[in-house]
Chains A and B, each alone.
Chain A
């Protein structure tokens, strides 16, 4: 056993600090770091190395609360797309590259947002090979037939017990539900019946809405750090904005997290491309009015990527519609998944709508503290595209130029063209660090106050936000310098974050 080396003690001197939790917005200050934590300025500073941060923007390490980085479907994605995309990067990087690329981007914490309970052990074995980042998984505990049966019989105690046991056994951080009860419709050969949240699940006195309600109750009763993480029904289908609206109504006055809302915000119906459009405005109004709700967007950006989901129904629909090679496993059952390559194109009507709808969501958010920047990696785009997304949000002229290139029908009909909001650096810091840390339930992350993990990213200020955020000057993880100008300098083992259910 190699003894642990002493943790570094140093001060980042004179950086321009963005720490939204502590209302520090571009304040020039020092940041003291000792034993992997941020500390108050000590009375005795001897022994602290001085690291000059003058002129650099200092932010907490990024937190990605909704990504797909490990587990069987991610490995399926690697096998399905073994070659690099046109831009030279793998749509689904190896687990080692995932850690290094995230770290080099200034991210230090990541969650895989959909792991079947039966695959939890395998996912953890894979995550053991993920370097640098702290990591966790959300378990699809609501897919378990025993949980569904308990929900149908109204046995909340049994749901709590089963969900708590799944979280403990699978070392999960949160509970994710993907298309609530959707696989039951498939299992019973009624895949087309799953139109709304109020159609009873086959053979059960339980609706998808009821399942969501009881799962969220169990998650809250177990005091899990993150609320129920909801991928609601009808992902990707025209007219599905109503389903998301109904999902939000279900949680009026309560907490819940809505995943990749972009994929659930479409108007139109009957697969009519002409009526396809944005349902964001009424949805954003409702979201803004319900303070218990949080969301991630699942932004689509143009280029090659891989779609992967535990919502087998959505995957099959997309596969049949596109005809691309489709890999699926157990598509009718809990733990099923579907994976396929996809190329998002500016001139595709549907893809252009998806791009515009995602951006519209960000720009209509009244409170960035309730949202996390995401592309639902790799579904909407690779996480390496985050800097581009930040530029689209923070640079209105750049966004306008991009808007001018997309499908003309979308240019004519999308409200995006009329939205001129620009995210400030502080707001981008909220979206990528402070808010996802708070939403995920990580009090020691996403800020730079004493007691926080010394996960810190230093950027060179640049009017080109994509360039600025693509290559941090330095990234620290737990006080260790892990990346410098895009090069990995150290590969500490990150921690696996597992929740401890504490039933009331």
Chain B
């Protein structure tokens, strides 16, 4: 095999704020956590940002001056009173769910765990795990992954496996696939619909009739790679498998980008099998792109919950005994909880489930945005994630440091959670607001 280009040492350095150019910041609009943008709102400059990222900064700076600090049942309140009310309502609940988590720093998630353990609450990030294979699948079939920079710097064949990152991770292609290699890079998209924007000049779309056809395609491709009988298959799929095989044979390093909804994990299983077979022959890896939108630090939340509870959720009761994988939305939908502590923004479907499934007064939010419209419950404003100081984790395992923004007029989520926990463990903690029985 011919020699590969070496990966730049900077690939493995943490992305430190000290290395950012003046005016640059970390964009937290999605899990890409782009750190190469320039944000100068006073000058109206929002450069190297996707639309979603630019909008998040614009909205934040426009709203900063008029934002309330907290509300109790829709009425403005000071932060201390709101924290006291939140503590009282959470303490009075029978069963609390702590959720959100995906736009907290890692330091914030650990504080959220402390609060959940104090309450004996369930804790689960508000990510739609049903859309991707998640924890149980890795135990059954493994996972062979790499940093996005490895894809950028080495993969001369990138296969988009049923997933277009344009929505979930808008600048992924621009940052990690479009940059040129010293040798030609081919891209192939496998899926029902073509990619919105072809990621390379040398791009091919292999159309499938249905999303799930990629499972059969993986089987055919694997059989070819292992030189085993493939069994019967539609001609179109066989032709696609042959085309992939041909491209793979000509490649030096293969990256397979995944991320389509895959609740049963069959697609993931197939891709892992292919990557594993490929990895015997050449550098090959999967780049899973799940939980992009609404979940900039989903990987960080999952990491903390895994080291705390051994799973990406603790549903029986947050505590040292460990936990199990579960969906926040399921706990709401099944009536398993009667109060919720929401930390950060929620995906719309989870927000909707909460609004219909929980007594509004028992919903406590610590989040940058006030709830829409008139609302009961308690809301305490915290900084936007990009204004925090702390650590984030990209889904590919790279840490990203946040150095704090220019707007520190709002408290950090970490400070609010510390205050809430202090209130919860105070010996005179009343069971209801105002201390009335």
Contacts and interface: CB of A to CB of B under 8 A. Distances in A.
24 contacts: A70-B307, A72-B303, A78-B310, A79-B311, A81-B139, A92-B310, A97-B320, A116-B12, A117-B12, A118-B399, A122-B106, A122-B393, A125-B110, A125-B304, A144-B9, A145-B6, A188-B3, A188-B6, A203-B6, A327-B142, A327-B144, A330-B146, A331-B285, A332-B150
B308 A146 contact: no
A124 B391 CA distance: 12
B310 A72 contact: no
Interface stretch (B180-188, B274-282, B348-356, B361-369): B274-282
B6 A125 contact: no
A331 B4 contact: no
Contact of A79 (B107, B138, B304): B138
B307 A78 contact: yes
A188 B283 CA distance: 9
Assign chain A's interface to a size class: 35 or more
Q: Which 4 A-B pairs have the closest CB atoms?
A: A325-B142, A145-B9, A189-B1, A96-B320
A327 to B, nearest CB: 5
A78 B302 CA distance: 12
B7 interface: yes
Given A82-B136, A117-B12, 13 more contacts: A72-B397, A82-B325, A83-B139, A94-B307, A94-B320, A95-B308, A96-B320, A119-B397, A145-B6, A190-B1, A319-B276, A333-B11, A334-B9
Interface in B268-310: 276, 279-280, 282-283, 285, 303-304, 306-310
Contacts of B106: 122, 125
Contact of A325 (B135, B138, B397, B399): B138
Contact of A82 (B6, B9, B139, B143): B139
Contacts of B310: 78, 82, 90, 92-94
A187 B142 contact: no
A332 to B, nearest CB: 5
Contacts of B322: 90, 94, 97
Interface in B393-436: 393, 397-399, 401
Given A187-B4, A189-B283, A79 B135 contact: yes
A326 B143 CA distance: 6
Interface string B120-142: 00000000000000011011111
Nearest to B282: A189
Nearest to A148: B9
Interface of B: 1-4, 6-9, 11-14, 106-107, 110, 135-136, 138-147, 150, 252, 276, 279-280, 282-283, 285, 303-304, 306-312, 320, 322, 324-325, 391, 393, 397-399, 401
B340 to A, nearest CB: 24
Contacts, number: 152
A328 B308 contact: no
Interface string A311-335: 0000010011000111111111111
Contacts of B8: 145
Contacts of A333: 7, 11-12, 146-147, 150
A319 B8 CA distance: 28
A121 B391 contact: yes
A263 B236 CA distance: 49
B138 A144 contact: no
A80 interface: yes
A94 B312 CA distance: 12
Interface string A56-100: 000000000000001010111011111100000010111111001
A128 interface: yes
Contact of B398 (A70, A100, A118, A203): A118
A119 B285 CA distance: 20
B145 A129 contact: no
A333 to B, nearest CB: 6
